[in-house]
Structure 1
């Protein structure tokens, strides 16, 4: 009887240790920056959307796990081609001639752990005073707009939906460890009585 209890206690401790090691790896990759940045107001339309994540992403052969839309207030999607995954970065080209207004970026990728993750954010383009202003502005202002977008700190606010996930995942192995310790204490106490 004592041997069975010892084996069960050892198994409980082993499971707890395995869960404690696996828990950090279960957290999905997070969006760490974007160009344009979240809530950024641009003076000219961007040529592409670029998202950078906390780890290298998985790129499936049929590209089914990666998707992005860039939709304006009227519901028009301005994405001009398939998203391209390169290590921790996803880039998608945009159609030219995007008018002033607010744009909603919605993305879906496959994390390095093999699980899909998604999110969204918005940016805006300033309204033009004249119809020709949008067409002539890019040659003068595209270069300075790009560095601002890559350094904007607002991008870190995009993945709010996953902020609490690592903390919750940490509770599971902690609970298992507590149960394992209680089992060991009960077994030792019973053994001392005998």
Structure 2
């Protein structure tokens, strides 16, 4: 019977971004039946949406690519069912987490926002008064 030797990402891993793929390695070759692939590997997000693609086998490894456009921060489940060369199925599951990059934003103080706006308003009013005064002077001549 096959036994899982390693997984990438590992069970319980905390990742800063979505992996390109999920790859499982077993202790013996996995079964392929001609063009048929009896091996299953599925990655789902916490809502149950599948974020993995086609399952590929290379000797004792099974892997699938991750759709990074829909894989966002959160918990993910990896479920697999593989058939070893002796014909016995092995299944299991584990989870990993995508934490995403930490975003730090500085708070904006209302006073800082009012300062430039108030100054611009004052300058605009001053320019308008100046234009009005010039117009009055020209009209009086």
TM-score w.r.t. length of structure 2: 0.67
Contact 2:78 2:94 in 1 (8 A): yes
Give 1:121 deviation, angstroms: 0.7
Contact 1:57 1:109 in 2 (8 A): yes
Pair 1:94 & 2:66 matched: yes
Structure 1 equivalent of residue 34 of structure 2: 61
Structure 2 equivalent of residue 31 of structure 1: 4
Which structure carries more strand by proportion? Answer: 2
CA–CA distance in structure 2, aligned partners of residues 51 and 60 of structure 1: 19
1:92/1:71 Cα in 2 relative to 1: closer, same or farther (>3 Å)?
A: same
Contact 1:84 1:92 in 2 (8 A): yes
**Runs ≥4 in structure 1, deviation > 3 angstroms?**
127-130
Aligned residues: 102
Structure 2 equivalent of residue 118 of structure 1: 91
**Structure 1 unaligned blocks of 5 or more:** 1-27, 131-194
Q: Deviations over 1:88-108 (max 9, x none)?
A: 111111101311111000011
Structure 2 equivalent of residue 50 of structure 1: 23
Give 1:30 deviation, angstroms: 0.4
Give 1:48 deviation, angstroms: 0.4
**Structure 2 unaligned blocks of 5 or more:** 104-141
Contact 1:65 1:116 in 2 (8 A): no
Q: Could you tell which deviates more after superposition, 43-52 or 58-67?
A: 58-67
Structure 1 equivalent of residue 47 of structure 2: 74
Contact 2:32 2:38 in 1 (8 A): yes
Contact 1:66 1:108 in 2 (8 A): yes
Which structure carries more helix by proportion? Answer: 1
- Tell me which structure has the larger Cα radius of gyration: 2
Structure 2 equivalent of residue 168 of structure 1: none
| RCO comparison, higher one (Cα < 8 Å, 6+) | 1
SS in 1 for 2:52: coil
